[in-house]
Structure 1
Amino acid sequence: MKQSDTIQRVRPPGSRLPGILQTALWAKDPWLYAQRARTRYGPIFSANMYPFGEVVYVSDPDAIRRILTIDAPKFATGEANRAIEFVVGPRSLLMLDGEDHKRLRRNLTPIFHGPNVENYLDVIRSIIDAEVSRWRPGSTVTLLPRIQAISMEVMIQAVFGVREPARLNRLRRLVPQLLSMNPLLILFPVLRRSFFGVGPWAGFVRIRNELDEILYAEIRQRRRSLDYQGSDALSLLLQDSADGLALSDAEIRDNAITLLAVGHETTSVATSWFFERVLQHPDVLRRLNSELANDDTTYLDATISETLRIRPPTMDVGRILQEPHLVGGYRFDAGTMFALSLATLHSSEDSYPDPDVFRPERFLENPPDRGRFLPFGGGRHRCIGSSLAIVEMRAIVTNVLSSTELRPVSAGEKMRPRGPMMVPEQAASAEVISNRLYRG
């Protein structure tokens, strides 16, 4: 046997701590856990994570590129997301691979690109102005929940075109409740059972059932009245169904839930981090305001990119290997779980000098290649709502900066885990110094 063959069968290095302890350390601070492990073990390391067992973390740019593109057919995404199927449903884009995924993505893609995204802008701006008009000068505003409210309203009104007041109010109440479910329901499937109608699972099912009732009622109403000629996502999905592409009510429901529950959350967290970082860097804020006053968004886009780099909305992208395969010189068996670590990829000194420094100029002077900057993932499973997310971030930032003066209330907020994301510890709190939109 050749020595190279022997090397290829060696497992990646990793902690020898018991799996339950590794899982606890990861759950406490996923960012710190990944950073320390990468420093100690290198860009490919293994961990023992409940309930998945062995998880192979990858932050090597070339290995990630191959997994997402060249070798993508060997890796399943839907299976890696199975833990959230009970939330989004089995026909969600997140759950599918192969031809099913290709067909559904082909139907969904136009909704979030080109003219359709531009059609949402007027509604987005009116929603932002309505929210910002309530920020009283002299008060402290916690930006994360306020931006979440904006993003939720964008999804409900602009993307899904829901207008009926009672349904609007119920969605505003229910979706945040769905997102605040007990995270133990994801980690411990055994808890997904009702204990005489009480407990976290019973509460979650009640919320999910009420959401389903609203969405199916909206779908039935539009089918009956043939009211699906608009540019919102639900109308476009119904148009596809009417054109013979056979989108079922269940498929439309599952992807509506996916967008409502997942799409708005990542955008709002990323935008909150944008303000937290910019308010801590007055030089960046001054340049932003100066260039936006001249309708120049070049530096804005660079600042958004730097925010997504240093505070990626999604820390990891999951894949499960479908057949024996080599990754980074190691041989893995079918069924191996991979976590493509965007957090450590974006903080690598090999790709980003002084990676802990917030410096938007790096995206103007020497932009990284695509394989080293993947805030929305990559390949055929790249986040389908990335274009809408960027448009929404631009609109929120531009409107808020042009109408208010904000000041941070702390010297910088630490990251804390909430579900699969890292959010600002104090919810990106800021003092409102002035606000020309304030209505009193």
Structure 2
Amino acid sequence: MERIETGRGTLLRTPPGPWLPAVVQSVVFTWWRHRWAASLRAKFGDVVSVQIYPWRKVILLYDPKHIAAMFAAPPAKFSAGEGNRVMAPVMGHKSVFMVDGDEHKRLRKLMAPLFGRNAVRGYQDMVRELTRAEVDRWPVATPFESHDRMRELTLDIMSRVTFGIADGPRFDRMRELLGRLLDMDLIVLMGLNVPGAHRVGPWRAAVRLVEQIDTLVYKVIADRRTDPELAERTDVLSRLLVAGGGPDGLSDLEIRDQLITLLIAGHETTATGLAWALHELARDKQVAAEAAKAAVLDDTAYLEAVVKESLRMHPVIFEVTWTLTEDVELEGFRLPEGSTVMPMIGIVQNDPANFPEPHRFRPERFLEGPIPPGHWAPFGGGARRCVGANFALMEATEVLRVLLAKRAIVTDRRAPEAASSKHVAFAPAKGALISAPPLVEVGGDGR
């Protein structure tokens, strides 16, 4: 890549990109980035510069080698909190998603053991129990939107994981408020980063909604502090409170931010991933039959491959956002300090150069050997990989294990559903409409 000669020496070129006004780029990126990103790559290559609110200077990455190098870089070279700040008014400025440096290390140290592989296995029975109850409520012959049902289920699951209980008037009210929060329009969510907007229209209502949720959460925290069985409880809230007795303990504000982050990120993303999986299974009888067989035979590997393939074809989060803390040279380009770097996961995971026949739903590709670094990253990577990734994979796998052993998944709509931007996630535009008639035979354990 050529360099620009000036009287002060040789300068690296900045990455190419569109010349549209920043406001136009922001609008297009917000609602149609899954389409726009592909056209940008075709026109400008694997490193593209755009201007997007609220990050301003954004560098889009499409090459798996660049993405793998980014994830492997020392944490000091990047900050993720700045890139995630669009969610800060809701998740909180002390969320593990928002903080960096030593503060992030401290939170990861406290949170990671709660979601290690051994820890998440302790939640399997609970996930199966709640899934059985959910599936028993499904209609027998009437089509329904699976995304709605998965949102209800995963909210119940995450409420149990986070608080240990999910029953009673207080938690019914919390579920109602969280449902309204998750239905918030993306423009409203982004506007919460503008203090002046808090006094008007939908932004004022959104601020009030967050305040109502906070009131409930702080009441639960206060009550749990006085629970005589606190030390024996295994839910996230209780374990964070117990950890609060040590030198790395958390304040009520920090605990609140982690709980809300888990409820939002752990609930909506898994629900959407499951809805996409059911959408694909309903449209492919052969894969659905293999998955149903795996459910009855307890073939965890195949069921997990179904989840991973769904996340490959339909990544719930289309991109990762990290901000550079120093200038970086990449492929002859200068990426300046303060730029937000976005690996375009949704494009990379559907690139035929990375995954042959990318538009074919084929779980077997995740059973045929390791996936190269940078090719599959629905949970991000490196020091900022999602702390709940192990739990999310276990949860989705167990949900499929139960429901596919009890119900067939079919649809009369053969065309794939489009992806629609919901908050920062991409969900099935029509809710992943399916029918789920009971199977003639169910596994011996009644699942």
Q: TM-score range by the shorter chain?
A: over 0.9
Whether the 8 Å contact between 1:43 and 1:58 is mirrored in structure 2 is: yes
Query: Which residue in the other structure is 2:445 paired with?
Result: none
Amino acid at match of 1:414: A
Change (3 A) 1:249 1:295: same
The match for 1:120 is 123
- Aligned partners of 2:407 and 2:439 also within 8 Å: yes
Deviations 1:369-391 (A, max 9, x none): 13211110000110001111011
> What amino acid is aligned across from residue 433 of structure 2 in structure 1?
S
Q: Which residue of 1 aligns with 2:211?
A: 209
Over 3 Å counting, the alpha-carbon distance change for 1:241 and 1:393 in structure 2 is same
Residues 115/328 of structure 1: CA separation in 2 closer, same or farther (3 Å cut): same
Name the counterpart of 1:420.
Answer: 424
Query: Of 156, 176, 180, which aligns to 1:177?
Result: 180
CA gap of 1:58–1:240, structure 2 versus 1, over 3 A, is: same
Q: Which residue of 2 aligns with 1:199?
A: 201
User: 2 CA distance for matches of 1:124 and 1:235?
Assistant: 19
- 1:351-378 per-residue CA deviation (whole Å, 9 max, x = no partner) reads 1122222222222234421321111000
Cα distance per residue 1:206-233 (max 9 Å; x no partner): 2211211111111111212344221111
Describe the shift of the 1:244–1:166 C-alpha distance in structure 2 as closer, same or farther (beyond 3 A): farther
**1:240 counterpart residue number:** 243
1:112 partner amino acid: F
- Amino acid in structure 1 at the alignment position of 2:429: E
**Deviation, structure 1 residue 417:** 1.3
Same amino acid, percent of matched pairs:
30
**In the aligned structure 1, how far is the partner of 2:369 from the partner of 2:122?**
33
2:158 aligned partner: 155
The amino acid across from 2:169 in the alignment is A
CA distance in 1, matches of 2:11, 2:78: 19
**One-letter amino acid of the counterpart of residue 45, structure 1:** V
1:10 maps to amino acid: R
Query: Which position in structure 2 is the counterpart of 1:385?
Result: 388
Counterparts of 1:41-190 in structure 2 under 5 Å?
A: 41-163=44-166, 165-188=168-191, 189-190=193-194
Deviation at 1:322, TM superposition (A): 1.1
Give the whole-Å Cα distance in 2 for the aligned partners of 1:435 and 1:171: 35
**SS of residue matched to 2:246:** helix
Query: Any unmatched runs of 5+ in structure 1?
Result: none
Instruction: Tell me the secondary structure at the aligned position of residue 408 of structure 1.
Output: coil
Matched, 1:357 2:391: no
Q: What pairs up with 1:179-328 in 2 under 5 angstroms?
A: 179-188=182-191, 189-190=193-194, 193-195=197-199, 199-228=201-230, 229-328=232-331
8 Å Cα contact 1:57-1:340 kept in structure 2: yes
Shift of the alpha carbon at 1:280?
Answer: 1.1
CA RMSD of aligned residues (A): 2.1
- TM-score normalised over the length of structure 2: 0.92
Tell me what 1:431 maps to: 435
Contact 1:56 1:337 in 2 (8 A): yes
Task: Give distance in 1, aligned partners of 2:371 and 2:64.
Answer: 11
For the residue of structure 1 that corresponds to 2:329, the secondary structure is strand
Change over 3 Å in CA distance of 1:78–1:117 after alignment to 2: same
Rounded Cα–Cα distance in structure 2 between residues aligned with 1:164 and 1:186: 29
Partners of 1:155 and 1:314 in 2: how far apart? Answer: 19
Q: Residue type of the partner of 1:377?
A: G
Deviation at 1:33, TM superposition (A): 0.9
CA shift in 2, pair 1:77/1:91, >3 Å: same
1:403–1:435: 8 Å Cα contact kept in structure 2?
yes
Return the TM-score normalized by structure 1. Answer: 0.93
Take 1:292 and 1:321, find their aligned partners in 2: how far apart are those partners? 44
Paired residues, number: 434
